Structure 1
Amino acid sequence: MKLIVSFTLLFAAAKCSRILIVFPMVGRSHYILGNAFGKGLADAGHDVTMLSPFEDKKPPKNGKYTEVVLTGLSEEENKPKTLANLLDLENMNPFWYIPLVNILGTEITRNTFAHPNFQKLLKSNQTFDAVIIEQFNNDALKVLAHHYKAPLITFSTVGASVWVNPLVGNPSPPSYIPEIFFDFTHNMTFWQKLTNWLFRISYELNRHLIFFPAQNKLMHEYFPDAPDLSDIIYNSSVLFLNSHESINQPIPHVPCMIDIGGFHVNAPKELPKDLKDFLDGAEEGVVYFSMGSNIKPSQISDNQKKALHQAFGKIKQKVLWKWDEDSIEGKPDNVKLGKWFPQADILAHPNTKLFITHGGLLSTTETIYHGVPVLALPVFADQKMNAARATLDGYGLTIKLSELDEEKLSSALDNLLNDPRYRDNAKMRSNLMHDRPVKPMDLAVYWTEFVIKHKGAPHLRVAGVDLPWYKYLLLDVISFTLLCIISLLVIIYMVIKRILGAILKTRGKVKKN
């Protein structure tokens, strides 16, 4: 009888739910995370609909997984006439990211709303038990939770940041928590703290005065009966964070914030024969070099190419270089080029000794997962912060790409390949990532099911979300206190003035007499 009850409870807990996942960013790294999340939910038995600009060539066979593809958006982004040289962003002032993100976020949101496949989904009369939205300056898309009358779950691809903390009432003191566009660590100088604080104020003013009104207007163009955006964006039942203490700085989290960093990394698969032979035959090891899925490495300068060739030619290790063209002039004999490599599987190989990377969060997560030290060449966005963190935590070094030369590169390679401290620190970080009570994907599935089961889980919501900004910052209390102090000082001043006046008047009368 107990066995029957146990199976009954297990069946009830595993009830299939219909879940909509929206990852509209035209960036494959973002899609990798959303796709992995959707597959995990489908493997857990849920009916998942994934909306994004990309398509999975090998969709999961377990469970039900349907993709609504925003066709044409990724192709348009990669046309030569629209493809920007992202390397130009390396020295851009971080404050310029504010208007840049405004433009990008508005474009992403409008393209999603206007896409015929999105409109077809809306008109299909499908229902969903939960709506998961990637949080990437596309706040108007959260109207879908209102439209489907389903709990809203948000997903931050870059962990906790100024983009998400205010939306769930999470404290984020700028005194020791740097924003993602800076190469600061928690140990900031006075001027870094001042810059960080000014950026936070500028971003919040921009968001409330410019960005949110624009998103609100855009939302009502397509959902005229929707409430004001301010009634929608603060309703996240759970916020999943692509972060973990082994990678990111430990910071405060309110109860609805769940760290699942590393959830997208699977057990390593067998490498293709040519790569397997290359890595297996590397007696001195292999250096893996990739600048990610967005940066075109062929756009680096001739001097930088020359520096890479000279430095790679000096080392005894073999080099796997992800390169977007068929060949490169002057390539050393120990270098193997490829337009695509199974990155996580290469990092898992015991002969991989070093990862040269742009410092993206997915690459950082994967290298820590497998315990491989890094040489970071950061360019933009969170890459500089991730690189600074790797240097601080002792499992990597950083060189500004614009300052790359043969001398600096050779020195860094010599240190990273021959000083065991870097690999030891990488292995220590890897142990921290793996030493968790629950696998991150299982944690993500659990909390998704938890939100559905408990109808949005409003008990996780902190009161700070419902406070106006001036009350949250205690400006009303501070103003009242200052008013009381000023009033008291004025009263004391008036009393002292009256007393002194009386004393002086009395003395004057005495002198006359």
Structure 2
Amino acid sequence: MKNAVTVILILLSTSHYGSCAKILGVFSASGRSHYILDSALMKALAEKGHDVTVISAHGEKEPPKTKGTYRSIVVTEILENRKEMMKQLNTNMFDREDVNPFLSTVFMGLFMPKMLEATLQNEEVQKLIHSNEKFDAVIAEQFFSDADKALATHFGAPLIVLSAVGANSWVNTIVGNPSPTSYIPMLQTDYSVPMTFCERLVNSLLYVFGQIFFDLVVYPNENAKIQKSIPNGPDISDVLYNASIVLMNSHPSLNQPVPYVPNMIDIGGFHVQPPKKLPQDLQEFLDNAKDGVIYFSMGSNLKSADFPPEKRDAILRTLSKLKEQVLWKWEEDVLPGQPKNVKLSKWLPQQDILAHPNVKLFITHGGFLSTTETVYHGVPILAIPIFGDQKLNARTAMDNGYGLVLPYQEITEDRFTQSIQEILNNPKYRNNAKKISETFHDRQVSPMETAIYWVEYVIRHKGAPHLRVAGLDLPWYKYYLLDVIGFLVLVSTVVVCISYYLVKAVCKKVCNKRKTKKLKQK
């Protein structure tokens, strides 16, 4: 009997060990929206029973209660560096609305290495790097932050990449996925499909510029951070293409259908949680709004309080004329000229608000998280996009019929009023939002279950090298068949030249014979 108990205990402990993995998440992006995605995945893995370590700019007020362990290393230097950089730029975030996409690429390429250095040089991160800890997988976000991936090589663990958006040139390059610029707009643009000739031209130039800029500037810069921060650090060329899988916050209901290689996995909406009970004041405000509620938020990076006075006044005059109640994320204590139908709050539980049946419209900046959440709940949007992928997300919403776009520079009382009334009074927007929402929810399993399955799949299969496409091992000139094209052009040129000289020689010979014959006849 004693032996039987011992065997059972051994089997149970072995089973736990086999199902529990040590997973490191390293996320250098400073944006709160990025952390929402990153932490959602890591918390879910910890809840599944895995031991999780998270390196990021943000932390949890209280450690989440999970079956596994959840350790947080907060790199406060990331936010300090971001604050200092924004101070040096001395610019309002709304001023980035008309930034050239080429300059935007340069800005991010120069900005992110500072965040990476802050992460890798952090005291607690350095202790981890120099420790003897082992990890079964390392998860890093794909956001101008390839140096983070070196930790997977350092710890001898498979690399899993998390992308906050869908397939794009940043992701496609690292897994060998086709990225035709003829019909896939770059994230920095707001092009719809099909693109015009000029749009395809700019799109292609932007892609080529990005590839050259990364190769000549970004990667060497990030490589220097790796060598400085990690003992015997790998060269970035040995890090870039090591991703076992890419988990993408995308779905065909949200994104244009594009090619995928086998290790690209859609998990769009994985961060969305079932609605929770609202605070009493918000619950009463939403319940008692007999004419409906308009929810207004510009996200976590942009602040409504930073609207210039002329834009803010135009917005206020419009809101004051509405019969609907307005719930506005406003980051200051006072809003001058606040209408009676507007309720303010510095923070709002967005997902739970969008789930309320009285919410008729979401006025948003068009960030991908906000777009995902509004699609999840089937609420139409009025987008005021400013930078990044916001313009492309907003254009997609308009093309799919569940929203309108109001360019920031065109915000006036008349345009704002017209846009709101069009969405509220035309049922097609809400109907389309509901149809898209149904498509979004129609899946075999939840996106979070999909994400967890594939993380565990990579761990079980020691990196799952069988998912890697052969294109990653080809130099760029072979990948694009430039050597084959060059050979065919050369052969064709030689054949044409030989044919030309043969024909010329034959013609010359015939002509000479004719001349000789004529001379003889004379």
Q: Normalising to structure 2: TM-score of the pair?
A: 0.94
In structure 2, distance between residues paired with 1:25 and 1:111: 11
The partner residue of 1:51 within 47, 51, 55 is 55
In structure 1, distance between residues paired with 2:197 and 2:12: 60
The 1:299–1:419 alpha-carbon spacing in structure 2 relative to 1, beyond 3 Å, is same
The residue that corresponds to 1:353 in the other structure is 360
Alignment of 1:443-454 (within 5 A): 443-454=450-461
The residue that corresponds to 1:20 in the other structure is 24
3-state SS of paired residue (2:87): coil
Question: Would you say 1:275 and 2:254 are equivalent positions?
Answer: no
Contact 1:53-1:71 within 8 A present in 2 as well? yes
C-alpha offsets along residues 101-126 of structure 1, whole Å, 9 cap, x if unaligned? 21112111111111112112223322
C-alpha offsets along residues 435-461 of structure 1, whole Å, 9 cap, x if unaligned? 110111111111011000100000000
C-alpha offsets along residues 212-239 of structure 1, whole Å, 9 cap, x if unaligned? 1222222112235233211121010010
In structure 2, distance between residues paired with 1:208 and 1:75: 28
The partner residue of 1:34 within 31, 38, 41 is 38
The partner residue of 1:476 within 475, 483, 490 is 483
Contact 2:363-2:384 within 8 A present in 1 as well? yes
3-state SS of paired residue (1:184): coil
Question: Would you say 1:245 and 2:252 are equivalent positions?
Answer: yes
Q: CA deviation at 1:266?
A: 0.4
The partner residue of 2:410 within 403, 407, 426 is 403
In structure 1, distance between residues paired with 2:503 and 2:282: 88
The 1:9–1:434 alpha-carbon spacing in structure 2 relative to 1, beyond 3 Å, is farther
The residue that corresponds to 1:102 in the other structure is 109
Q: CA deviation at 1:505?
A: 1.5
3-state SS of paired residue (2:508): helix
3-state SS of paired residue (1:237): strand
Alignment of 1:332-371 (within 5 A): 332-371=339-378
Contact 2:101-2:189 within 8 A present in 1 as well? yes
The residue that corresponds to 2:500 in the other structure is 493
The residue that corresponds to 1:235 in the other structure is 242
Q: Which amino acid aligns with 2:64?
A: P
Contact 1:290-1:321 within 8 A present in 2 as well? yes
In structure 2, distance between residues paired with 1:234 and 1:9: 36
Question: Would you say 1:65 and 2:70 are equivalent positions?
Answer: yes
In structure 1, distance between residues paired with 2:428 and 2:18: 46
Alignment of 1:207-222 (within 5 A): 207-222=214-229
In structure 2, distance between residues paired with 1:448 and 1:234: 18
Stretches of structure 2 lacking an aligned partner (at least 5 in a row): 1-7
Q: Which amino acid aligns with 2:377?
A: H
Q: CA deviation at 1:76?
A: 5.0
The 1:13–1:183 alpha-carbon spacing in structure 2 relative to 1, beyond 3 Å, is farther
Q: CA deviation at 1:211?
A: 1.6
Q: Which amino acid aligns with 1:419?
A: N
The 1:13–1:390 alpha-carbon spacing in structure 2 relative to 1, beyond 3 Å, is farther
Stretches of structure 1 lacking an aligned partner (at least 5 in a row): none
The 1:13–1:197 alpha-carbon spacing in structure 2 relative to 1, beyond 3 Å, is farther
In structure 1, distance between residues paired with 2:450 and 2:13: 19
Q: CA deviation at 1:200?
A: 0.8
In structure 1, distance between residues paired with 2:174 and 2:417: 45
C-alpha offsets along residues 401-452 of structure 1, whole Å, 9 cap, x if unaligned? 1111111111111111111110011111111111110111111111011000
3-state SS of paired residue (1:81): helix
In structure 2, distance between residues paired with 1:275 and 1:454: 48
Greater Cα shift, 263-272 or 124-133: 124-133
Greater Cα shift, 369-378 or 318-327: 318-327
In structure 1, distance between residues paired with 2:496 and 2:38: 59
In structure 1, distance between residues paired with 2:18 and 2:299: 37
3-state SS of paired residue (1:443): helix
In structure 1, distance between residues paired with 2:196 and 2:37: 34
The residue that corresponds to 2:383 in the other structure is 376
The 1:264–1:457 alpha-carbon spacing in structure 2 relative to 1, beyond 3 Å, is same
Q: Which amino acid aligns with 1:81?
A: K
Q: CA deviation at 1:9?
A: 13
Alignment of 1:312-331 (within 5 A): 312-331=319-338
Contact 2:78-2:115 within 8 A present in 1 as well? no
C-alpha offsets along residues 450-504 of structure 1, whole Å, 9 cap, x if unaligned? 0001000000001111111111111111111111111111111111111111122
Q: Normalising to structure 1: TM-score of the pair?
A: 0.96
Alignment of 1:78-477 (within 5 A): 78=83, 81=87, 84-477=91-484
Contact 1:85-1:296 within 8 A present in 2 as well? no
In structure 1, distance between residues paired with 2:409 and 2:124: 42
Q: Which amino acid aligns with 2:70?
A: Y
Contact 2:168-2:186 within 8 A present in 1 as well? yes
3-state SS of paired residue (1:429): helix
Question: Would you say 1:505 and 2:505 are equivalent positions?
Answer: no
C-alpha offsets along residues 242-300 of structure 1, whole Å, 9 cap, x if unaligned? 11111111111111001111010101111111111110000010000000000122222
Contact 2:384-2:406 within 8 A present in 1 as well? yes
In structure 2, distance between residues paired with 1:223 and 1:24: 16
C-alpha offsets along residues 32-89 of structure 1, whole Å, 9 cap, x if unaligned? 1111011110111100001001111133212211101112432553468357421111
Q: Which amino acid aligns with 2:193?
A: H
Q: Which amino acid aligns with 1:269?
A: K
Identity over aligned pairs, percent = 49
3-state SS of paired residue (1:90): helix
In structure 2, distance between residues paired with 1:439 and 1:395: 23
Q: Give the aligned CA root-mean-square deviation in angstroms.
A: 1.8
In structure 2, distance between residues paired with 1:81 and 1:170: 38
Greater Cα shift, 9-18 or 123-132: 9-18
Contact 1:284-1:316 within 8 A present in 2 as well? yes
Q: Tell me the number of residue pairs that the alignment of Structure 1 and Structure 2 aligns.
A: 508
Contact 2:77-2:119 within 8 A present in 1 as well? no
Q: Which amino acid aligns with 1:21?
A: G
In structure 1, distance between residues paired with 2:513 and 2:439: 80
3-state SS of paired residue (1:279): helix
Contact 2:379-2:430 within 8 A present in 1 as well? yes
In structure 1, distance between residues paired with 2:455 and 2:71: 18
3-state SS of paired residue (1:48): strand
In structure 1, distance between residues paired with 2:81 and 2:472: 38
Q: CA deviation at 1:14?
A: 6.5
The residue that corresponds to 2:5 in the other structure is none
